[in-house]
Structure 1
Amino acid sequence: MQTKPRYILVLALATFITSLTLGHSQKDDFVVVIDAGHGGRDPGAISNGYKEKEIALDVVLQLGLELETYNDIKVIYTRKTDKFIELWKRADIANKADADLFISIHCNSVTNSKPYGTETWVLGEKNTGRNFEIAKRENEVIFLEENYEENYEGFNPSSPESTIAIGIEQEVYVEQSIELARKIENNFVNKAKRKSRGLKQHSLLVIRNTYMPSVLVELGFISNKREGAYLNSKKGQLTMARSLKEAVISYKKELDQNVGSNISGFDLNNNDEPDETKYSFVDVIFKVQIAASSKNLATKSYNFNGLTDISKDKDGKLYKYYYGSTSDYDKVKSLLQEAKTKGYTSSFVVAYKNGQRVDVSEVLKSVTN
């Protein structure tokens, strides 16, 4: 396994805030890596005659077919057959592909046959109760790998303390991962008509070293006979795959609106764009979000590559850092470009109305209404 030298990790922490990239990269294709959990000698959960590794693969292959119909989306699979893939290799595939998203597909199972419903997990440090038991189960796959002690530096899936330190590289993408997870769960409810058990966080090895927004999706409980039968059916797999596809497309569309040149139907590079006054709002404040981190930094220019007018707020365990503040959308576009020239190449515009964060796309739609 190729691992980062420790001195690079230390340097990355020391300069953490100045090297963050938060959006999708400026590539021609939007790259999605989809990962069918388990495989080969690792069957995952087995219950009621259903195997997690088989259902996960079937859904991944269907999801890939759905996404591949879009010309600007490139799909990469960690596996397309029943083969064993080490956890670290799955993240490595995504990193080498410079992926924009990493989605790992799994199925749930418990000894009690009653629980049912979907869950979508992002990286976190909540090490108590059922959250830890789920993470322990998923992480114990490492024991099937050769040289796992070397590859995971003595990581112990049975130790809550061992999970706290992982995920430094993923931390910056937590907010975006949560946004994707919300879209996935909402689609499971609204489109697939499934019960959602919500968005959850824990330290999961399969997404700990990915350098992009990443989620682990539990499609449902194969230990529940009714849900297991649904997930094992072609209809169920197609419905779940299409719900996932719609979540990815919605997520990508929002990113395109923030970092692309065409927003809400207006070509911002076109000389015939609407008058400037149509982009000024009395009750809306625009800012450029340049970073999100657990590090509480002083809003001084030396911490932000020379940028001034920095503000921050706390959202849970994360501090979000912003550049500029204006009610003029054209001005915030200029601020966005300035932030990018300072190294924040994937920063993006956010909007606030009456102190509450709102979708930029919804604000801009009001121009045409």
Structure 2
Amino acid sequence: MRTNLLKLLVFLFIFINTLPQLFAGNFNSGDPFVVVLDAGHGGKDPGNMGNGFKEKEIALNIILKIGETLEKQKNIKVIYTRKSDVFIPLDKRAKVANDAKADLFVSVHCNSHNSQAYGTETFVLGLHKTKANFEIAKKENSVIFLEEDYEVTYGGFNPNSPESYIGMALMQEEYLNQSILLADFVQKNFTNQLNRKDRGVKQAGFLVLKNAVMPSVLIETGFLTNNHEGPYLNSNNGQNKMAASIVAAINKYAQSINLSSLESVEDLAPGRVEEQPSQIYEGITFKVQLAAGSKKLKTRPYNFKGLQNVERAREGDLYKYYYGATSDYVEIKSIHGKAKQNGYPSSYIVAFKDGKKISVNDALKTKVN
């Protein structure tokens, strides 16, 4: 009996002393959360010149504002692919992030079109499902023609050839869910905080994302060719607001990752024999997002490592696959644990209210029954 009591006391001592690190997740002094910020284009590559504005300058201004805010948070380390008007090859941008062992790679750009199209869209790496997505990827990737020996550097990759993009999605498959999570936060902030038109979270084959071995997004902040959006993005006020929304999305993403880390350790805590009481959040439905992609899969167990009753939902250009549905937060954590045991370590909990996705943090702020 005394031996068991001693073991319990030792466990409690270790757990209590490590609790601050668990809450900190990647945000502890020994292991900062590393964010690589990438301003599109630069130097001899001006990017698009819609309405006479320069994409390379606007993207850099937004990136520097994002970095300035993040650098004030003591446990975030910010690294830039460029901080001035210089040309950086696409492969070197990913190398900066990989060498830094970054937790996030965020690339900022501005869009253009031969119409008065407007709105924001955030891309993750994958096969472009529509011609419009292909055209955007082709335009951003064409910068490699300004590089020497680009055919050798990129293994014969041709931005104008659809065949060159086949298989690209596999390069970042491991990080797709996390990339989509961040992209979703970015788009929701643009829409809800800034009232920008939401063009969605999309997949396309961007070279700058291809070799980055961490969650990565490419943000198109709006259309310089639009007579209203162009001047907005070129203004200090517009750039400040876009930067603030992206910062908020990065912070929300980091917090959500930290919550997942804490829950994982709690699930593994020994000596838990008593069941936790239910935590019912009225009007909230929690689910576990297993995966997302442009391919429409049958929701049969053989496609999802034996998991049954998987649900498919289309959001923009992507199909998202969910497991479980409950208003009980304790139950969804148990379901999440089963998903991870069955081979979905990067799955995560999502929340819905009145059929619309909200952040888990917001869901947990509602009243518990």
Q: TM-score range by the shorter chain?
A: 0.7 to 0.9
Would the alpha carbon gap of residues 75 and 348 (structure 1) be closer, same or farther in structure 2, given more than 3 Å must change?
A: same
TM-superposed CA distance for 1:89, in Å, is 1.5
Code of the residue aligned with 1:143 in structure 2: it is F
TM-superposed CA distance for 1:68, in Å, is 1.7
Structure-2 residue corresponding to 1:106: 109
Structure-1 residue corresponding to 2:276: 276
Aligned residue pairs, count: 333
Do the aligned partners of 1:120 and 1:198 also contact (CA within 8 Å) in 2?
yes
Structure-2 residue corresponding to 1:75: 78
Do the aligned partners of 1:167 and 1:209 also contact (CA within 8 Å) in 2?
no
Structure-1 residue corresponding to 2:58: 55
Structure-2 residue corresponding to 1:8: none
More helix by share: 2
SS at 1:65 equivalent: helix
Q: Aligned match of 1:170 in 166, 169, 172?
A: 172
Matches within 5 A, 1:1-369: 26=26, 28-112=31-115, 114-260=116-262, 276-279=276-279, 314=312, 348-349=348-349, 360-361=360-361, 364-365=364-365, 368=368
Code of the residue aligned with 2:81 in structure 1: it is T
Deviations 1:268-303 (A, max 9, x none): 99xxxx993255899999887677687999969xx9
Would the alpha carbon gap of residues 50 and 93 (structure 1) be closer, same or farther in structure 2, given more than 3 Å must change?
A: same
Would the alpha carbon gap of residues 299 and 99 (structure 1) be closer, same or farther in structure 2, given more than 3 Å must change?
A: farther
Question: Over aligned residue pairs, what C-alpha RMSD do you find?
Answer: 4.2
State the distance in 1 between where 2:130 and 2:119 align: 21
State the distance in 1 between where 2:63 and 2:251 align: 16
TM-superposed CA distance for 1:69, in Å, is 2.1
TM-superposed CA distance for 1:140, in Å, is 0.7
Code of the residue aligned with 1:195 in structure 2: it is K
SS at 1:277 equivalent: coil
State the distance in 2 between where 1:338 and 1:208 align: 31
State the distance in 1 between where 2:91 and 2:129 align: 21
TM-superposed CA distance for 1:229, in Å, is 1.8
State the distance in 2 between where 1:128 and 1:328 align: 38
State the distance in 2 between where 1:82 and 1:354 align: 47
SS at 1:207 equivalent: helix
TM-superposed CA distance for 1:208, in Å, is 1.6
State the distance in 2 between where 1:213 and 1:252 align: 12
State the distance in 1 between where 2:205 and 2:290 align: 25
State the distance in 2 between where 1:91 and 1:144 align: 17
Would the alpha carbon gap of residues 39 and 299 (structure 1) be closer, same or farther in structure 2, given more than 3 Å must change?
A: same
Would the alpha carbon gap of residues 209 and 282 (structure 1) be closer, same or farther in structure 2, given more than 3 Å must change?
A: same
State the distance in 2 between where 1:206 and 1:356 align: 32
Identity among equivalent positions (%) equals 48
State the distance in 1 between where 2:111 and 2:132 align: 12
State the distance in 2 between where 1:279 and 1:180 align: 27
SS at 1:85 equivalent: coil
Structure-2 residue corresponding to 1:16: none
TM-score where L is the length of structure 1? 0.72
TM-superposed CA distance for 1:156, in Å, is 1.0
Do the aligned partners of 1:25 and 1:100 also contact (CA within 8 Å) in 2?
no
- In the alignment, structure 2 segments of 5+ residues that lack a partner are 1-23
TM-superposed CA distance for 1:227, in Å, is 2.1
Do the aligned partners of 1:278 and 1:367 also contact (CA within 8 Å) in 2?
no
TM-superposed CA distance for 1:233, in Å, is 1.4
